[in-house]
Structure 1
Amino acid sequence: MTMFSFNRVDARPDASARNPSTAASDRQPFAVRLASDVLVASGILALFGLIAWILPAIGEPIGPKGVPSQVSTNLADLPYYALRSVFRMLVALFFSLVFTFIYGTAAARCRRLSRVLIPLLDILQSVPILGFLSATITIWMVLFPGSMLGVEAASIFAIFTSQAWNMAFSFTRSLTSEPTELDEAARSLQLTRWQRFWTLDVPNAMIPLLWNCMMSVGGGWFFLTASEMISVNNRTYALPGIGSFVAQAAAEENLAAICWAIVTMVLVVLLIDVLLWKPLTAWAEKFRITQSESAVRKTSVVLTIIRQSHIDEMVAWLFRPVGDLFDTLTRPLGRTGGRWAADVKSARSRALDVVFTVLVLAACAFGLVQLMLVIHRDAGFGELGQAFVLGMVTFLRVALLTLVCSAIWVPIGAMIGMNPRVSRFMQPIVQVLASFPSNFTFPFVTLWFVACSVDINWGSILLMALGTQWYILFNVIAGASQIPDDLREMTRSFQLGRWQRWRDLILPAVFGSWVTGGITAAGGAWNASIVSEIVSYGRHTLTASGLGAYIAEATESGNTVRTIIGVTVMSVFVVAVNRLFWNPLQRMAERRFALN
């Protein structure tokens, strides 16, 4: 019996029938269940208490001296700074999930919107966070005048822009590659849109989405320094956080403080892995599409305690009315289907397509003309040509990085994803490496480059790889873990050799995941170039020739036109590469290598 199944949507079976783990927990001794309830309740109260402790400081008024431009490097403040950073990360992750569900569903299900939303996602992921910050920091300050909440909102928004895009890519791909038999089952059951979303769409996307959530948090940590020590328009806004702590310590050449921040960061990552990621990955195993249960199940002490408590019943009791309300509201949209738009086009539908296309092209043409006028008036087209030359240099770095990282991490990721024993051992290690903000080590790397006379034009490739290689690894792990066990057994039954097994099963099965990882890794590498092509430690500053350094210098100096030019050129490069290279590979993955 398949582990991935539909719940009944009209009937209301008892809790044990809906969830076998609930029945197992009901057989636990009363003392065990009571202890689990106490532990879970204590954890929830502690979480709410920490949030209540942090919130007043987030909304405190701006003092007469304005927003601080630096933070303290007192080691006693480090735990509090780490807590503030974790809070920003989780808030940004929540909004990233909401964005992913809405944007990904619209891009996958609505034919007309997909023509705009998918290319727009390419553009959005190519815009560096400094581009978002320089354009939005004033807006956030106006929305929350006289309050630190405006700067906090800008910081959270910057972290959101480093998390949301690869999650949306992953979710969209999962929706467009749903197994045919499950789609037909949803149609046969005549599920509403809301029921299909939570019964098929989200469960089918759960494993790759979860791994991309981990990677998104890792990407957020990578850009934490730029998000908490915001330097735009000749001004610096510093927020209490571990990222700003490291930036300040690097400016003061305080290596001891940086080392303590690194130790604190490792502890934070391990704690998040134990309390959040490990329980979620163990829980998500029930969404694997397979004909037999895995011989080695992923386990988590935290998940076991939660399952032995009554928290699941409380959550169901609290959120069931909300689900029923949305189910009622979405019923007028009709019953489920593969796409919201019909495949057979009527004359009216074709006319609407033409009108929609004309409007989109007209809007793009108008925006392009206005952009060229601004560049011609304030900078000249020679500046645009220089930016394209620098963009080509950064493109070569990104291409080399993607090629090398793919050759290294695809076989390693497949091995981790297909072997539960290896996954159980390697997941915490990979999670720490991926979540650890590698730019915390940039001061040490800068000193090494200076001492060994390493050319930053080559060294920046290493710095970019430290933060972006994990996109490929995590997506390949997620893809390999979804390979059905019966296909693995079939390769053993046919006694296929190692190379044949890789050629006929593993590589085709993870190809789509590698493409998704490659797209996000390349986009992340472009983004990472703004903090990798120009690095500093105290009086030492190393600057590489490239578009990332161009944007960073323009943003910090407040040169709006150069910032616009740099962001525009970066967007053109990313979108062009995606259109010409990655998108054909993605279509081939959906057409030839989807497990449906």
Structure 2
Amino acid sequence: MSAPRLTPGRASLSVRVARRMAEFSWVDIVVAAAVLVGLYVVVRVGAGTTVSFVPSRVTSIDTRPARLPYYAARSLLRMFTALGLSLVFTLVWAYAAAHSRRLERVLIPALDILQSVPILGFLTILVTGFVALFPHSLFGLECASVVAIFTSQAWNMTFAFYHSLITVPREMDELSRSMGFSRWMRFWKIELPSGAINLVWNGMMSFGGGWFFLVASELISVSNRHYVLPGVGSYAGAAIADGDLTRVGWAIVTMTVMVVGVNFCFWRPLVAWAERFKVEQAEAVHVQRSLVLDFLRRSHWPRALGRLLRPAREAAGRAGRVFGVDDRPLQDGVRRRAGDVVFALVVCGLVGWGVLNLLGYLHGRMGLGVFGRPLLLGLATLARVVVLVTVATLVWVPIGVKIGFSPRLTRIAQPMVQILASFPANFLFPLATWFFLRTGLSLNIGGILLMALGAQWYILFNAIAGAMAIPTDLREAMDDLGVRGWQRWRRLIIPGIFPAYVTGGITASGGAWNASIVSEIVTFGGTTLTATGLGAYIAHATEHGDYPKILAGIAVMALYVVGLNRLVWRRLYRLAEKRYSL
């Protein structure tokens, strides 16, 4: 009996499969095992988000240190879920605002307002809504917590990507049009790569902002009712409320391990990978490196995944070519102006209707005089914000430029800055309370230091990102010409980092207003310090469920933030777009 014979097609297929199987090494086994372990942890931890829950029953947190690994996993799951939502929101919102003149007039001011609404303002509505939507399940509270963390992450990323889109080099845009790129192709080939460095660094900063509000999103007090979610933030909040410094120390250690681990395994590889999108004509001598990224590049799984997803990418490209629309401006100026008028009337009508309803509600409950006290308190918080942004600019911009120009220094400084930027102010309340009481320093001044813990890092991270984005050939040209000192700053550094700095300034300003909520009232054990300001007003109203005061405080804060952005930051945005885009 003769042996079966393989056809040439089957033989070649077998040879290809055998060759690809032979290419796999121990690196691929380690990567596959790490992915499987990660998926297992997500499934196990995620199972705890759907347990039964009774809103009327006061829950508590188990503060045994042995529970911290599980709490850390729960907090990380919330943080990365919120980061994913923030990324999707950023790409859609920023793209729409950058490519539609009419939508830009609505979306960017709306972003200013959303950025100004404090986290507690969102929580007041979110908790009530999600608990009613998912009755008797902890999933409702989990959704409220994730969306609250999302509100601390999304605005910064959206501002950064929007500014990258409106400052895309003109020659790149003209090249894409001359080559007949559809909107889809132009987005993936030109616009997203040009904003990759800023998006990664601001995503890192937004992640740190999420850590900052972790306690507020896991240990929720609304309308004299307390809700607790298992997590490092709620653990730290419970330890602070009990005045247990030992367990506060355990929470700080856990937070440090989490921040360093996330930085090493996630952000550091992204920073090194984003270097490929740097626009320059000369190759840098020192580039960003990551052990995790180098390890992944040795694996065959990324290439195998790319081959697996190739049909989906090709289908998306074909869809982009089919549905791509030419976005050249209309030639008929009369029709365009008429459309602008109709659009403005519709938007103004909707906004006016909402404002009138708000004023009617407040007038019926407490009268319009409810705005008087928040307006005066807002001036005190405004003064703190101005001082914070000014000092942070003078201190952190030179440091950020130094870090951004040195990849070696970046490898050392990035984890340290990430840890400092990620520490919630609540974790330092025991030390802050002790310091203020011992020195007699009023919280009216000391509150600026606590607000800085959540706001100054936006300026530092954007200064680093702006410095890293300056092409190496421009820096080498300055070196060859012997340009040093102030002339180097005036000719190269300030123009190079100015667009990124404006993004950092506007988000630092909004972050400072948000941080005032947790920085103008400091509690540790039985001691409470209160500053005079709008943040303390809103926090006190939220704790007691006083909805008219909450709405009045949030409306006044939005008024201050939008006014500051319109008068200062928007003008700087236009200046950066016209004069300082590379």
**So what's the TM-score if we normalise by structure 2?**
0.94
Indicate the residue corresponding to 1:184 in structure 2.
Answer: 174
Indicate the residue corresponding to 1:39 in structure 2.
Answer: 30
Matches of 1:314 and 1:165, distance apart in 2: 35
Matches of 1:67 and 1:267, distance apart in 2: 33
Report the alpha carbon displacement of residue 430 of structure 1 after superposing the two structures with TM.
1.3
- The 5-angstrom pairing of residues 38-187 of structure 1 reads 38-63=29-54, 66=56, 68-187=58-177
What secondary structure is seen at the aligned counterpart in 2 of 1:230? strand
Structure 1 residues 329, 256: CA separation in 2 closer, same or farther (over 3 Å shift)?
same
What secondary structure is seen at the aligned counterpart in 1 of 2:165? helix
1:515 partnered with 2:507: no
Report the alpha carbon displacement of residue 394 of structure 1 after superposing the two structures with TM.
0.3
Indicate the residue corresponding to 2:375 in structure 1.
Answer: 388
1:257 partnered with 2:247: yes
Q: Do the aligned partners of 1:109 and 1:341 also contact (CA within 8 Å) in 2?
A: no
Matches of 1:341 and 1:115, distance apart in 2: 19
Report the alpha carbon displacement of residue 314 of structure 1 after superposing the two structures with TM.
3.0
- Structure 1 letter corresponding to 2:466: G
What secondary structure is seen at the aligned counterpart in 2 of 1:291? coil
Name which of structure 1's ranges 66-75 and 234-243 shifts more when overlaid on structure 2: 66-75
1:434 partnered with 2:430: no
2:552 to 565, 589, 596: 565
- Structure 2 letter corresponding to 1:247: G
Matches of 2:245 and 2:127, distance apart in 1: 31
1:449 partnered with 2:436: yes
Q: Do the aligned partners of 1:110 and 1:341 also contact (CA within 8 Å) in 2?
A: no
Higher-Rg structure is: 2
* Residue correspondences, number: 564
Report the alpha carbon displacement of residue 343 of structure 1 after superposing the two structures with TM.
6.3
Name which of structure 1's ranges 394-403 and 310-319 shifts more when overlaid on structure 2: 310-319
Matches of 2:349 and 2:141, distance apart in 1: 36
What secondary structure is seen at the aligned counterpart in 2 of 1:191? coil
Matches of 2:343 and 2:545, distance apart in 1: 37
Aligned alpha-carbon RMSD (Å): 1.8
Matches of 2:472 and 2:46, distance apart in 1: 47
- Structure 2 letter corresponding to 1:444: L
Matches of 1:190 and 1:446, distance apart in 2: 62
Report the alpha carbon displacement of residue 318 of structure 1 after superposing the two structures with TM.
3.8
What secondary structure is seen at the aligned counterpart in 1 of 2:397? helix
Q: Do the aligned partners of 2:152 and 2:213 also contact (CA within 8 Å) in 1?
A: yes
1:465 partnered with 2:452: yes
Structure 1 residues 345, 453: CA separation in 2 closer, same or farther (over 3 Å shift)?
farther
- The 5-angstrom pairing of residues 224-239 of structure 1 reads 224-239=214-229
1:358 partnered with 2:345: yes
Indicate the residue corresponding to 1:423 in structure 2.
Answer: 410
Report the alpha carbon displacement of residue 317 of structure 1 after superposing the two structures with TM.
3.1
Q: Do the aligned partners of 2:184 and 2:324 also contact (CA within 8 Å) in 1?
A: no
Matches of 1:479 and 1:342, distance apart in 2: 31
Report the alpha carbon displacement of residue 376 of structure 1 after superposing the two structures with TM.
1.8
What secondary structure is seen at the aligned counterpart in 1 of 2:195? helix
Indicate the residue corresponding to 1:248 in structure 2.
Answer: 238
Matches of 1:320 and 1:437, distance apart in 2: 42
Indicate the residue corresponding to 1:334 in structure 2.
Answer: 324
Any idea what the Cα deviations from partners look like across 1:400-448, whole Å, max 9, x if unmatched?
0000000001111111111222212211211221123233111221122
Matches of 1:345 and 1:171, distance apart in 2: 31
2:299 to 309, 316, 325: 309
**So what's the TM-score if we normalise by structure 1?**
0.92
1:284 to 274, 277, 284: 274
Indicate the residue corresponding to 1:406 in structure 2.
Answer: 393
- Structure 2 letter corresponding to 1:245: Y
Report the alpha carbon displacement of residue 68 of structure 1 after superposing the two structures with TM.
4.3
- Structure 1 letter corresponding to 2:76: V
Q: Do the aligned partners of 2:496 and 2:580 also contact (CA within 8 Å) in 1?
A: yes
**Unaligned ranges ≥5, structure 1:** 1-27
1:525 partnered with 2:512: yes
